[in-house]
Amino acid sequence: MIKIKFYSLLRMFLKQNEIEINEDNISVLNLLQKVAEKTNKDLLAELIEAGKLIPGIIILLNGRNIYHLEKLDTIVSNSDKIDIFPPGGGG
Amino acid sequence: MDQFARNIKFWGEEKQALLKESSILIAGMGGLGCTVAENLVRAGIGQLILVDNDIVTETNLNRQILFNQLDIGKSKVIIAQKKLLRINNEIEIITIDRKIESINDFTEIKSNFCGIADCLDNYKSRFILNDVLKDNQFMVHGGVKNDFGQITTIKNGITQNLRQIFGDQKDEIEPGIIPQTVITIGSLMTQEIINNLFGKPQLLNKMLILELSDFSMFKVEMK
């Protein structure tokens, strides 16, 4: 199982803290599509614009930002953990 | 030491003395910076270095607890210094009226500060600030928006740096910020700064995410 956790605005949008998807060797983009199907929410519109992750959203794969990996093409394996949140930038 | 009698009842004379010998650089004297600064002074910190180039404006007054209407138009770091010395006039407060645009902006700081409080409001400056961090120092990052925020501790060689964690962040111009969010996150940052000073940081390789809306708190594992 791939465990995907959501925080702050996304947790409110999906109305749930986490979701599990039984997939292996799947890209982050395809995984997010699976989450959208399972939750019946237009998650991709919240996260992606013109094929790219909206700046201001962080997706961590096992604690590492996918921005420094292969971005939305990063491959996720079964038992991996994903955290998604929009960090606060203000002070 | 009567001022700190109630602190000492909790953490003892030794830790109170350690705080008196400690120095923290606070980058950004907005909502987070004001809260962290006041908390640290009341905790008994010995030295603060305040860095900010802004003046107080009316829109600051919803959340920046060291400032009031009489301060509008005046330098934030100078006003903060004045107010903080009224709480404890035995501490040293160094003010640097400067925007953080380059690592060279820190070359004039001669003090050996123990750690940095990242209370800035933009990631470009936060990333530069991270470059200033030495191996024997820590940085506690905080950020807020609306009714949520996050905190983590950065240490060279132990944690990821801010660029690695946040990647390609575009700064939102003046996001919504309410007083209770920024004061809460600022207070939790203070706790983690003191945890670091006492040698027991709790947020190394962990991002604390706080959501005030339903009082949720999460620790996200970082590697």
Q: Is A1 on the interface with B (CB under 8 A)?
A: no
- pLDDT exceeds 70 at position B124: yes
Q: How confident is the model at residue B204 (pLDDT cuts 50, 70, 90)?
A: very high
A28-76 pLDDT per residue, tens: 999 999 999 999 999 999 999 999 999 889 999 999 999 999 999 999 9
Q: What is the pLDDT of residue B103?
A: 84
B54-96 pLDDT per residue, tens: 999 999 999 999 999 999 999 999 999 999 999 999 999 999 9
**Average confidence (pLDDT) over B36-44:** 98
Q: What is the end-to-end Cα distance of chain B in Å, rounded?
A: 42
Give domain limits for chain B. 2-221
d(CA B95, CA B50): 5
- According to CATH, the topology of domain B2-221 is Rossmann fold (3.40.50)
> What tokens appear for B67 in the block?
């400032």
- pLDDT exceeds 80 at position B5: yes
| B49 touches B24 (CB < 8 A) | yes
Q: Which chain A positions have a beta carbon within 8 Å of B146's beta carbon?
A: 9, 88
Q: What is the pLDDT of residue B13?
A: 98
Give B52 to chain A, closest Cα distance, Å: 12
Q: Which chain A positions have a beta carbon within 8 Å of B168's beta carbon?
A: 55, 67
Give domain limits for chain A. 2-85
**H or E element at residue B150:** strand B148-154
Those of residues 65-84 in A touching chain B at CB distance below 8 A are 65, 67-68, 81, 83
Higher pLDDT, A51 or B8: B8
CB neighbours (10 Å) of residue B101?
11
The region of weakest confidence among A2-16, B106-120, B140-154 is B106-120
| B33 touches B26 (CB < 8 A) | yes
Q: What is the pLDDT of residue B1?
A: 62
Q: How confident is the model at residue B106 (pLDDT cuts 50, 70, 90)?
A: confident
> What tokens appear for B36 in the block?
């962290």
B154-201 pLDDT per residue, tens: 999 999 999 999 997 878 888 999 999 999 999 999 999 999 999 999
Q: Does domain A2-85 have CATH number 2.60.120.680?
A: no
CA B2 to chain centre: 26
Q: What is the pLDDT of residue B173?
A: 84
